[in-house]
Structures are given as structure tokens and as C-alpha cells.
Amino acid sequence: MLSVQQRDKIRAAFQVGDLRVQSVSPEGDVAWKRVLHVHQVEVPWETIIESTTAFGPFVLTAGHRVFLTPTLKEEAQNLATGDCLLGVDEAGEVIYPMFRLRQKLPQREFMYDLTAEDWHNFVLHRSRVVISNCPDRNYHFRPPEHEADIGSYNRVFGYVWEDYELLTYLKQAVDWWDMFPPRTYVGNLQNLTIENPSWRTAIQYGGMMFALMALAINWVHEEFSVSSVTILRLSLPDGREVEVPIGEMYDICCSEG
């Protein structure tokens, strides 16, 4: 149970941008990164999964991504017994705890998340695993609240494309272009760039069309929620470290009181 003084210090550190959480860089170095945002997410429609390592359990939405290496991650629902996960031990060293099992939990109204700076991941203290966080590229669909019940449809439903994702849709756009007579035989993006650079705009618009179609048919789904009781280890400006459930962290950092 945090004291009033500890809660005040956490709130003050967050407000001035000096509250930090443990994270792992793409090079595999453990570092303390600034907490940029703390999120509460509505998830009554989501599948909730409890997974376990030798150190303890962690609860995520099914699509939340867990790191296998500093650069490779997999959705929680796809982890298999025996998989080695990226983790950080009590001494702050990188370890690879083994994934043991998972079980489906009852649905719930809210889950939580945060945004850490730079490489966007953080460590779950109890299970030691490193998970992807809610980066700024995610956005919410928030219709005006005066539009009656439309205002209730405010779930995270998509995100700005990363390069490798947009490349998938650009390749589909090339295939689409090649379908129509007379056959162009562009074949791939490299040929297009060399032989028909003036077609680039048409292919880019085609790529966006397929990307937006993916949103419309829900190929893209939520992956950014952890249980309110998930323990995070935070670092305060004075160098002290404190362990806080993320749900309580949200109340401290985001409440108006």
C-alpha cells in the first residue's frame, strides 16, 4: 500500500516528465525510460489471458504482444509452452524465462497500459517479462459525445502503419494493378520504380486502400492492455524505486484530484 507521500512523489514525477519505468533497448540493454502516458482502455469485448512463467503470472488481452528477443515479439494468444521470453531479473540483467501455460479469464470492463519513450516496451515486475506498450502511433475513434449512443463507440480500433505493414499493402496494390488488362507485368515495387516511376502515386493510393480495408474488416485489433493489478517498478527523480500496480498508477497520474 503506497503512502500519501509516495503517491504525491509519483504524481509530481509524472507531471514534470521524470517518472521512469524499466525497459529493454533493441540492442538488449536494460534502461529506465520516461513514462509519457498512462492509459485506461475499455475491453468488455476482448479475450483476457493469464499466462505464467517460473517467476509468476501476467494477465494481458489476447493480442497484446510479448517480446521473445529485444526485437522479436509475439501475441500472447500465440505463445506456446516452452517458448523463451525476454525478461529482466531483480538485478536488472536480461534473462529468458520460459513460458509455461495460459488460461482464459472472464471478461472485464477495463485494462491498463502506458507509453514509454523511445523503443516502447516495459517490464512486468512480477513475471519479469517484457511487453510491447501503447505507443503514440495508436489512435482512438471518439465521436462527439452529443451524438447520443455513438459516443460509446470509443475503442482503439487501429493505428498508423509501420513501414513493414504498409509494404504489405503496397505489394497487394501492385498485384491489383497487374490484374487489369492490358497486363502491365510490373511484378514488384522494384520494377515499378525502375521502369514506370510515374505509376508510383497510383500504387501508393492502392496501398492505402488496402490498409483502410484492413481497418474496416477488423484485421487490425487491440493489443495494448494489461491487468490493473500488474506490478510495475518505477524510478523516481531522487533515485528511489517503488513497485506500483498499473491501475493505481493510472489513478495517481491521471486523476484530477
Are 173 and 109 part of one and the same domain? no
**Structural domain containing residue 21:** 4-135+224-254
pLDDT, averaged across the chain: 83
Mean pLDDT value of segment 202-213: 81
The pLDDT value recorded for residue 52 is 94
pLDDT tens digits, one per residue of 73-105: 998 999 999 999 999 999 999 999 999 999 999
**Residue 207 carries which side chain, given as an amino acid letter?**
G
Task: Identify the CATH number of the domain in which residue 110 sits.
Answer: 2.170.16.10
Q: Can you give the pTM of this predicted structure?
A: 0.70
- Shared domain check, 231 and 107: yes
Statement to judge: residues 36 and 73 lie in one domain: yes
- Higher pLDDT residue, 184 or 49? 49
Same domain for 62 and 23: yes
pLDDT of residue 153: 47
pLDDT band of residue 66 (cuts 50, 70, 90) is: very high
Query: Do 208 and 126 lie in a common domain?
Result: no
- Whether residues 108 and 165 share a domain: the answer is no
Contacts of 124 by beta carbon, 8 Å cutoff, 6+ apart = 58, 130, 131, 226, 230, 231, 232
d(CA 203, CA 225): 35
Residue 148 located in a structural domain: no
Least confident of 76-80, 99-103, 181-185, 209-213: 181-185
Q: State percent of the chain over pLDDT 90.
A: 53
Q: Is residue 22 part of a domain?
A: yes
Same-domain check for residues 14 and 113: yes
What was the pLDDT predicted at 141?
Answer: 44
For residues 131 and 209, membership in a common domain is answered with no
- Looking at the fold, whether 210 and 230 belong to one and the same domain comes out as no
Number of domain units in the chain:
2
Q: How far apart are CA 86 and CA 71, in angstroms?
A: 10
* Domain membership flag for residue 195: yes
Same-domain pairing of 170 and 190: yes
